[in-house]
Amino acid sequence: MWLIVGLGNPGEKYANTRHNIGFHCLKHLANQHNLTFDGKRANARIAEGHIAGQRVALAKPQTFMNLSGQAVSGLHAWYKLDPATDLLVIYDDMDLPFGRLRIRQRGSAGTHNGMKSIVGQLGTQEFARLRVGVDQPPQGWDAVRYVLGRFTKEEEEQLPNIYANVADAVELILREGVRAAMNRYNG
């Protein structure tokens, strides 16, 4: 079984912000596979089912971004998973150009507070992650203000294609493994 976590902040105030791109990617993936977020566990909304022949639990932590690790560690314990082989986290990254995907089998949390929380709670950096580029803030903007800001009209027009690319990447990970997805999407 795979636990696929999309990071974001709960509530209408944050619904359409850059920081919630992980939530939106999961919603798109769930819709493609007729899965619904009707479960609740470990302070996360859960959609369970099958994707690419694999049993999956899609999770949207409801802890707010900076405490994402609380939900992920609770889900890790509930499902009795090995993070190194059964966990994928999808989240926004300001260091990547808008829409660019970067997949890694492991790594540091960098400056992302949600990832810092997950690494801290799990006690390991050994889990897959799929970063979705949201680009750098404009000159003079505060990073927090930027990621908690809404997408521009031009960016919004590109979001459906980005969500579709993320869904394709996740399906490839589930079918052929993280390395195959890295080879295809990290170019």
Residues catalogued as catalytic: 19
Domains observed in the chain? 2-185 (3.40.50.1470)
Residue 187 pLDDT > 80: no
84's tokens: 């190194």
Q: What is the pTM of this model?
A: 0.97
pLDDT in tens, 16-48: 999 999 999 999 999 999 999 999 999 999 999
pLDDT in tens, 116-169: 999 999 999 999 999 999 999 999 999 999 999 999 999 999 999 999 999 999
